[in-house]
Structure 1
Amino acid sequence: MIRKKLFPSLVDGNFRYRGKEIQRVEGLSDAVFAFSVSLLVASLEVPQTFGELRNIAKGAIPFFATVAMIFLFWYQQYQFFRRYGLHDFTTVLLNLFYLAIILFYVYPLKFLFSLLIASWSGLDLFPSATEKGLAVLSQEDFPQLIILFSIGYFLIWLIIALMHYHVLKLSAQFNFNRFELEFTRKEARGALMNAGIGLLALVLAWVRLEWLAGICYLLIPLVLLLNQGLFKAHSRKLVRARV
């Protein structure tokens, strides 16, 4: 009853949530995600002057943007375990790779957000580099930054896709109804589409078309709408089939 009140999204008449208890692998995952946020907090030194405090305040936007992305990845994983309650060896192994990539992804993600916000707003979010006269990012380094970000983005969504395809292989074990099966296919397809965007951006940055690689990520909303549209179309077919 408490779980239903706290997480109303878990109550779905069409999808039976099978993960009703928090298992050890999820406890470990929560600890890793909390540690990821702690790494961001630990990078913020206690200010000794108001000028240092002002510099920290300037970095609030990229900080919260990075935390929001980490929460998105946590929520994806949380939903997976709530929906399927799967804890076999393959799932645990994929989840460990997922967590390792998240830990590695934290600082590149914050650096990219800081760079983008600094370029858009004109704020100096790299005061230490400015003080030392260092270039934050050279023209030659920009493709490598896109490649680094794209590798992480590709791997994260690829693992999410593999976890859902693994569930589909075990669909008989789960005794899915037609809606649950179609919903799981939608989640796998959406994750694979996102992974494809990361892979495309990676290839474009590799061949020195980094400006086009950046534009690739603008396809994310379109991919989400396309995937949702396909799911609704298939769902309507299921409804008509029942009638």
Structure 2
Amino acid sequence: MEPTHLKKSDPKFTAWSKLDALILQWIYSTLSDVLLARVLDTDITARAASLKIQEIFVNNKHARAVTLETKFINTTLNSCSSFDDYCQTLMDIAEQLRDVDQLVNDSRLVIQMVRGLPIEYDTIAAIINQNKPTWEVARSMIEDEESRISARSNNSRDTVLLHSTTPAQTDSTRSPYPNGYRGRNYDPAKAVRGRGSYRQGGRQGGNNRTPSSTGGRGPSSWNRGLGSNSWGAHY
């Protein structure tokens, strides 16, 4: 109470003023930045600040309950910076709902936490909904699942990075011969100019053919890709 019967020059007023300032600082320390801006006043006493806070919360209780309920339902993991931030946000809103006589029990808190999880947590969410654990147990289960998903994601990224850094076959490792041909007397430079010759087996046995035996032309398989219809001069 304010000592209205005391004068400022009275030593009791000085002692009361120090105690009132201490209580007022304690009240300010419990308020959020938004509420603090509405309550903060240079000439206000601890009792006046308490009554002002009561007016803010009690007189607007129903409207505030609706706002907090909507915020509680729409809070998801993707809307928060981390899983710890997500859990803390849900707990803070639940505490504010209790202040306006809207009790949020442990079971409902778990249900809302599971509802706000993204699709990759569907398996653990189904397990939690079936077993109905406490808030702390459910939170630990989701943290373990989060670690597993993170580890799997890192493994997949490392695998993709490994494949992307594997050197591709360069032109220097490819065969200089067309269609993989590596004849003993094959000259690639002459083949490009159309003057090369294939000499498979030399002049031995049945492999030795003359222009007269082929009607003046070499077999088509000998002339394929050589760029010349006359081979006798180069045989």
Q: When the two structures are superposed, what TM-score results if normalisation uses the length of structure 1?
A: 0.31
Higher helix share: 1
Structure index of larger Rg: 2
Q: Which structure has more RCO (C-alpha within 8 Å, separation ≥ 6)? A: 1
